[in-house]
Amino acid sequence: MFAVMNLLPFGELPAFKARGFVPVDLNFDEGAQLTALYDRLAARAPECATLPEFERWLLDWSELNAAVEQDASKRYIAMTCHTDNAEAETTYLRFVEEIQPLTKPREFQLAQSYLAHPCRPLLPRPRYTVLDRDLQLQVELFRPENVPLETEDAKLSQQYQKLSGSLTVNFRGEEKTLVQMGRCLEETDRALRQEAWELVANRRLAEADQFEEIFDQLVVLRQQIARNAGFENYLAYAFRARGRFDYSPADCVRFHEAIETELMPVVRELQAARKTQLALPSLRPWDLSVDPLNQPPLRPFEQVDGMVATTQKVFADLDAGLAAEFQDMRDRSLLDLANRKGKAPGGYQCSLPEARLPFIFMNAVGVQRDVETLLHEAGHAFHALATRGEDLYPYRSAPIEFCEVASMSMELLGNEFIEHFYAAPQARRARRDHLEGIVKIFPWIATVDAFQHWVYAHPGHTRAERRAAWEQLMDRFGGTVDWTGYADARGHLWHRQLHIFTSPFYYVEYGIAQLGALQVWANSKQDRAAALGQYKAALALGGSRPLPELFAAAGCRFEFSGATMRPLVRLLQTELAKLN
């Protein structure tokens, strides 16, 4: 474990509050030491005769949760930063295979103790209302026979990340990761773009059987988990397990329909304009990222250090408090941002719950999307930092639907100061690219979410049926892109979407949250200081309030129908028109 810790960009991080219950020298790899702490908590619960004693018990449980989850976070960070390091992989899998199977049934036991305790009704309301609800759900869904299945799910998810992170191509004499190849799709040389796109598509297709095999196993596992918990299929189970108290699968279907009605006409307009501007007979997959006026690609930075330093200036203009928090992250080396071979794909913010600090991981290669990704993940980081003073561990994180409001709002708010990266003409291009990207991401979100609805509502489906379902959704939400000659690449495009493999049903949240973020942005255009104040106050609530209340605190409506979407689409169209 200690050797793997040397792979982390940060060193030892002090606990935000000194441990009082968990021994400082606890060895998480020693199962007996860890289970003894859970057993002590379980034995203490009935002995808590007063409300202060019961609340102290809750805080000790939170301390243990934070210590265990920080150990897990370190292992995950080391593994994703170095997917080609065997020891990092082994250390992470040891947590998945050995530690989690020990802690999950004991967490269930403690949740039962909490719910049955005579002092629980005396806890102040609404302070403990959300905790009650969430622990009732945990007890409702826990099945001991699902623990080993969930372990297998995590191991297969890690296999997907390892496979994806290992893929490279040889492009004009140089080995490149697939992420690095993304830069080529912005080049004005169309033949080069096509060559790069085909090389990447064919590299993914060479591993298509492996991706499909991993996913086949995941679908079977997840269906069994759902059946064990008494659900007809994993679709119904996942909505319950993800704590979706405030919306249903039918609401998501209506959201897909609203995206089709309100946004697809705008997408097709943008695609038609792009085709005309590029003077092309049809838009091909390699024509979607180049500047439509064939201007050279936006290159916001050459080195990652430059991106970080310039982002610091953005935050300084936006808010002094946020700028200070980002500087502190830099000083503590809580960033690993550059793309390299052997690094897992994608980007994330991972909390270190005992230190109560965030860590940002991404794969920057020098494109505008990297700037947007850093702003996005910094929004998550600011959310984590806003809850540092919360001692109840479950309340230091919010529902994903609101976590993504934190991140997507920061993209929009930070992009108001994009001139730090570019001169004025390029800044207008960058701002337009970002807003167009928001328009375009909604149909992709609908495609990914509707695909998962179909997959898990049709257990026992064949690969051919799965592909046909995907292709129907591409017909519905793909717009007017011409895929002639590349049917296999189109039919397997979902292989690139990490969430489908590693976090089932975690994707529609981005669409719900984007509606919230657009509302925060719309409010900021009326009164930036007031909108930012509401945003920060909402982040500080963590997970202590139900989802609609968190949205309301940020000045938003938690509602994702066409009626909510329509004025926000008009706002996007108005702002885009200004940037023409």
Closest CA to 217 of 305, 280, 154: 154
Q: Which residues contact residue 265 at a Cβ distance below 8 angstroms, ignoring those fewer than 6 apart?
A: none
**pLDDT range class, residue 580, cuts 50, 70, 90:** confident
With H, G, I as helix, E, B as strand and everything else as coil, classify residue 352.
Answer: strand
CA distance 437 to 453: 24
Reported as a pLDDT band with limits 50, 70 and 90, residue 165 is: confident
- The pLDDT, as a whole number, for residue 311 is 98
- Identify the residue whose tokens are 């500087």: 327
DSSP of 306-330: HHHHHHHHHHHHH-HHHHHHHHHHH
- The shares of helix, strand and coil residues in the chain, as percent rounded to the nearest 5, are 70, 5, 25
| SS3 of residue 279 by DSSP | coil
Query: How far is Cα 63 from Cα 354, in angstroms, rounded to an integer?
Result: 8
pLDDT at 413: 98
CA–CA dist 123, 131 (Å, integer): 11
Core vs surface per residue 303-334: b (16+ CB within 10 A) or e? ebeebbebbeebbbebbeebbebbeebeeeeb
Q: Is residue 230's pLDDT more than 90? A: yes
Q: What pLDDT, on a 0 to 100 scale, did the predictor assign at position 294?
A: 87
Please give the biggest Cα pair distance in the chain.
Answer: 77
- Tokens 């700028």 belong to 323
Model pLDDT for residues 359-389, shown as the tens digit of each residue: 999 999 999 999 999 999 999 999 999 999 9
pLDDT category at 5 given cuts 50, 70, 90 is confident
pLDDT for the residue numbered 576: 96
In tens, the pLDDT along 261-270 reads 999 999 999 9
Q: Where are the alpha helices (DSSP H) in 263-394?
A: 264-278, 304-318, 320-331, 368-386
203 within 8 A of 178, measured Cβ to Cβ: yes
Give yes or no for a contact between 188 and 278, defined as CB atoms under 8 angstroms apart: no
Q: In the prediction, which pLDDT does 491 show? A: 98
- Left (φ > 0), alpha (ψ -120 to 50) or beta: where does 519 sit? alpha
pLDDT digits (tens, 9 = 90+) for 477-516: 999 999 999 999 999 999 999 999 999 999 999 999 999 9
3-class DSSP state for residue 243? coil
Residue 2 predicted with pLDDT over 90: no
Quote the distance between the C-alpha of residue 274 and its chain's center.
30
CB of 291 closer than 8 Å to CB of 186: yes
Find out whether 362 and 347 touch, Cβ atoms under 8 Å.
Answer: yes
Give the closest residue to 406 by CA, choosing from 311, 500, 534: 534
- Alpha-carbon span 105 to 513, nearest angstrom: 33
> 79 near 91, Cβ under 8 Å?
yes
pLDDT digits over 352-365, tens only?
999 999 999 999 99
β pairing state of 348-352 and 357-364: antiparallel
Q: Which two tokens stand for residue 176?
A: 């490149």
3-state secondary structure of 177: strand
Q: What angle do CA 146, 148, 151 make, to 5 degrees?
A: 110
Are β-strands 168-171 and 174-177 bridged in parallel, bridged antiparallel, or unpaired?
antiparallel
Distance CA 345, CA 148 (A): 26
- Alpha carbons 520 and 412: distance in angstroms, whole number: 9
Mean pLDDT over residues 548-564, rounded?
95
Residue 1 reports pLDDT greater than 90? no
Confidence of residue 3 (pLDDT cuts 50, 70, 90): low
Beta bridge partners of 351: 358
**Peptide bond preceding 126 in cis form (omega within 30 of 0):** yes
> CA of 45: how far to CAs of 17, 22, 49, in Å?
23, 16, 9
- Which residue intervals of 99-233 are DSSP H helices? 100-116, 129-141, 146-166, 178-181, 190-206, 208-228
Tens of pLDDT, residues 405-437: 999 999 999 999 999 999 999 999 999 999 999
Non-local CB neighbours of 523 within 8 Å, separated by 6+ positions: 530, 531, 534, 555
pLDDT, tens digit, 9 for 90 and up, residues 87-101: 999 999 999 999 999
User: DSSP code of 354?
Assistant: T
Sequence spans of domains, the chain:
2-142
Q: What is the mean pLDDT of the chain?
A: 96
Q: Enumerate the β-bridge partners of residue 177.
A: 168
| 28 DSSP 8-state letter | T
Q: For the segment 308-362, what is each residue's pLDDT rounded down to a tens digit?
A: 999 999 999 999 999 999 999 999 999 999 999 889 888 999 999 999 999 999 9
CA dihedral 21, 25, 27, 28 (to 10 degrees): 40
Burial of 226-260, coded b for 16+ CB within 10 Å and e otherwise, reads: bbebebebbbbbbbebbbbbebebebbeebbebbb
The more confidently predicted of residues 296 and 215 is 215
Kindly report, residue by residue over 269-312, the tens digit of the pLDDT: 999 999 999 999 999 999 999 999 989 989 999 999 999 999 99
- Determine the Cα–Cα distance for residues 122 and 223; give it in Å rounded to an integer: 39
The per-residue pLDDT for range 515-540, each reduced to its tens digit, is: 999 999 999 999 999 999 999 999 99
